[in-house]
Structure 1
Amino acid sequence: MDLSRLQATSAITDEWEYPAADPSQSGLLQVDSDPDHKLYWEEYGNPAGEPVMFLHGGPGGACAPVMARFFDPARYRVILFDQRGCGKSQPTVASAGPEIALVNNTTDYLVYDINALRTALDITGTMHVFGGSWGSTLALVYAIRHPENVASLILRGIFLGAREDLQYMYQGNAATFADAPFALTEPGSYIAYPDEWKAFVEVIPAADRTDMMRAYKAIFDMAAASDADRALQLRAAVAWSVWEGTISNMIPKDSDPGKFGDAEFALSFAQIEAHFFAHDLFLEPDYILDNIDRIAGIPMHIVHGRFDQVCPLTQASRLIAALADAGASPASYVRTNAGHSAMERETALALTAIMDGLAPIG
């Protein structure tokens, strides 16, 4: 059976409203020194159009040109950029190691970087802020701190980053896996992806599985003294990366993990995520929900896959409930028959339709 044809039924292919395009300009913006963090950015669409700041997921992901296809190039000026340590930004964990790339790599610095990029690109008024997964977290935090800069929030796959959200994805039944690998002892993403879960869990010795995120972080943080240590770190990074990449799709690709299986991407992606998760995203508990009143007046559009196993739908429910407590509601809320990925057909089309229907800035 050709499972790739089944996967193609859920992924967007020829249905894009807007064609693929090359960036009109790109560059590296130095935002810090010691180390010299530089952000790689690209601009698409109309240079005089309404600005859209695109915030990618992870933490630790990266942007790709396809992400500009959600936006009408005649209307919008779209800014894609790779966050600190990610993609084509410099330095990355893969190129310089975590002891350099993770320095000054926190949520506060990422918020600072958005404003630095605004200034460098001469964005002086409000802008649309578009983010998915971790990008939705960062978009919400940015709006809470700088509501004067945000015309609207377009959020996909809401991620609030509470401990329970992370436990669902990374812990599951790991503590009892050795004795009962198919037992439903705890809620978790593993329920829908048992084979992929096995590959993720078995990197960690059975005795260390009571805290999977801590066990993975210990591997990433160890001083690799031998080829065997380095091989273990790479194996762990790829396992972490492929686990998330696979379960991001309601119908996973059967054999090709794509960029998530690439060693260079995985080393940066996994270690940046583990770094942020070990520090609770560098946010106070319930930071977003406790400050929702600061953004209750900003039009917020939410798209969330009903079958999302990276960021379960309950996270969108919690955000909407907090908005209601603040006397507000989302401008639109679309639950698609999809998983987590923005590249699943229903989600991609919903996001494009929202951008087409937004009230113009000003």
Structure 2
Amino acid sequence: MSLEPSLRTGRLRVEDGNELYYEAAGNPEGAAVLWLHGGPGSGSMAGHRRRIDPARQLAVTFDQRGCGRSRPLVTERPDLLDTNTTPAQVEDIEELRRHLGIERWMVTGASWGTTLALAYAQAHPDRVTGLGLFAVTTTSTPEVEWITESMGRVFPEEWEAFAGAVERAPGERVVDAYARVLRDADPDAKERAAAAWGRWEDVHVSLGPDWAPDPRWHSPPTRDVLATLITHYWSRSGFGGDEILGRMDRLAGIPGVLIHGRRDISGPAITAWQLHRAWPGSELVLLDEGHGGPLSSAALGRAIAEIAS
């Protein structure tokens, strides 16, 4: 159905019983720009539409498997977690591209969305006109270890409470314990784990100059979806995050802008720097910001204007 002349919405059935909500706004004949949301599990928001020129470009986004307006939610069908992987989502993106009749598009995203964007572009470089990414991560094992274990050196009091909120088997990593509890435990244990995970999420992004508590971590339905999907993906290093840096040669000739905040302690700038070094022709933009924010969004808008012309 259509909510306004320039906005098309719909639902796309993909494999494993998932139905994806999507939006396409702007000029259907214009240069297409795909936005991949973060999380995993945050769902898409309307802000990406403000980064395009609706007379010349088409903004596309969708709610990834198990979250947002897509169905079923991961909390409704935890048995589908085994099919909720990065390769499956890469094919979801291709299915959406074919469904909308788009030949090639610029791919953009933030945080987890940058991991998914890089994985998609490496799998289908012939379908990508360029990349625009901010709050850059590859969800590699070292990145997950940093954000869930080593960052306790920066926030020791908060990390102790975070690590102690779930029971761990001997030698079990914190992230693996959370993933197990949020998938298989009784409802009360899941609720406690989701709340504790949300408190830690608020802590490790708190050093940005514009930081404020994220209301999503205080809304149980959204919080529970986010915590379940994040721990599912992080405990498995993003289902291929360790391979992304070594495959940057697949993006040779594709323009890209990597935008990152120097105050992003949850995802230090080294990841964006390493990707830039391995990607000839890419541009690295470092800003006085945390894990995304208005400066990053504005920089992405400029990248879209330059690449998706």
Is TM (by shorter chain) over 0.5?
Answer: yes
Superposition RMSD on alpha carbons, in Å?
2.4
1:355 matched to 2:307? The reply is no
Q: Matches of residues 99-114 of structure 1 in structure 2 within 5 Å?
A: 99-100=79-80, 102-114=81-93
Q: 1:15 matched to which residue of 2?
A: none
Q: Secondary structure of 1:286's partner?
A: helix
* Aligned: 1:334 with 2:293: no
Counterpart of 1:134 in structure 2 is 112
Shift of 1:210: 6.3
Which of 311, 317, 320 lines up with 2:267 in the alignment? 311
2:67 paired with 1:67: no
Whole-Å Cα distance in 2 between the matches of residues 104 and 207 of structure 1? 26
Pair 1:295 & 2:251 matched:
yes
In structure 2, runs of 5+ residues without a counterpart are none
Any idea what the Cα deviations from partners look like across 1:103-158, whole Å, max 9, x if unmatched?
A: 411111101100110111111x2210001111111111111111110000111122
Match of 2:144 among 151, 159, 166: 166
- In the aligned structure 1, how far is the partner of 2:287 from the partner of 2:152? 18
Q: Is residue 10 of structure 2 the alignment partner of residue 27 of structure 1?
A: yes
Q: How big is each residue's C-alpha offset from its partner over 1:4-49, in whole Å with a ceiling of 9 and x where there is no partner?
A: xxxxxxxxxxxxxxxxx9971111110124xx10001112222222
Offset at residue 245 of structure 1 (A): 4.4
For 1:154 and 1:71, locate their aligned partners in 2 and report how far apart those are by CA, in whole Å.
13
For residue 121 of structure 1, the aligned residue among 100, 108, 129 is 100
Give the structure 1 partner of residue 34 of structure 2. Answer: 53
Aligned length: 305
8 Å CA contact 1:244, 1:310 repeated in 2: no
1:233 aligns with 2:190: yes
- Bigger radius of gyration among the two: 1
Higher helix share: 2
- AA of the residue aligned to 2:304: M
Contact 1:242 1:257 in 2 (8 A): no
Aligned partner (choices 134, 148, 157) of residue 135 of structure 2: 157
Write the letter of the residue equivalent to 2:137. Answer: F
Partners of 2:97 and 2:7 lie apart in 1 by 17
The answer to whether the 8 Å contact 2:31/2:308 transfers is no
Corresponding position of 2:218 = 261
| Distance in 2 between residues matched to 1:334 and 1:24, nearest whole Å | 31
Distance in 1 between the 2:231 and 2:303 partners? 33
Q: Secondary structure at the match of 1:60?
A: coil
TM-score, with length taken from structure 2 = 0.90
Distance 1:77 1:61 in 2: 22
Q: Percent of pairs identical after alignment?
A: 33
Q: Give the CA deviation at 1:277.
A: 2.0
1:226-261 C-alpha deviation (Å, 9 max, x unpaired): xxxx1221121132234324533514655x531122
- Calculate the TM-score normalised by the size of structure 1: 0.77
